């Protein structure tokens, strides 16, 4: 599992606590990376392996050597972030599921389909899957 825009690392740490074999936590902020490392240290030994990367999420996703082979990606960028088409294009080849948290409803780019979308107040959680042979 990959946690893009990881912030405090809460989602990735929760995944580890529930048995994820490996979790990659990506955030460009030095403060967020420090918080993730501190939070990992505070929970002690968890099953699986956690890797923390300080890098821009779009740059990470655009690097074919890092983005390949993940079955689940969680993306919770700031609601003002507008680079979804670029991120979806970069993630398309990884052939897994993307769970996106946004500040409103949106339609994915070609090559992706919405599996489910639910609103929680001003927050919308959308589950996306790549389509067979489409886009990217």
pLDDT, residue 92, reads 81
Secondary structure of residue 49 in the 3-state scheme: strand
Residue 95 has pLDDT above 90, yes or no: no
* Domain membership flag for residue 68: yes
Within a domain: 136: no
Would 80 be classed as within a structural domain? yes
CA–CA dist 116, 100 (Å, integer): 11
Domain CATH number, residue 74: 3.40.50.150
Tell me the average pLDDT across 111-120: 94
Number of domains in the chain: 1
Contacts of 63 (CB under 8 A, 6+ apart): none
> Could you tell me which of 81, 77, 78, 129 has the C-alpha nearest to residue 108?
129
| Structure tokens that stand for 79 in this block | 């609601």
Mean pLDDT score of the chain, rounded to an integer?
90
* pLDDT greater than 50 at residue 136: no
Whether residue 32 is contained in a domain is answered as yes
Its domain, for residue 29, covers 2-130
At 53 the pLDDT is: 96
């Amino acid at each position: 599992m990959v946690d893009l825009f990881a912030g405090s690392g809460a989602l990735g740490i929760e995944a580890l606590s529930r048995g994820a074999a490996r979790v990659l936590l990506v955030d460009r902020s030095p403060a967020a990376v420090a918080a993730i490392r501190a939070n990992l240290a505070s929970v002690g030994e968890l099953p699986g392996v956690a890797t923390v990367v300080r890098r821009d999420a779009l740059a990470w996703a655009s690097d074919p050597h890092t983005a390949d082979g993940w079955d689940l990606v969680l993306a919770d960028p700031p609601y003002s972030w507008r680079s979804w088409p670029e991120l979806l294009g970069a993630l398309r080849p990884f052939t897994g599921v993307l769970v996106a948290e946004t500040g409103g409803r949106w339609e994915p780019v070609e090559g992706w389909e919405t599996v489910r979308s639910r609103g929680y107040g001003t927050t919308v959680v959308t589950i996306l899957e790549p389509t067979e042979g489409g886009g990217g």
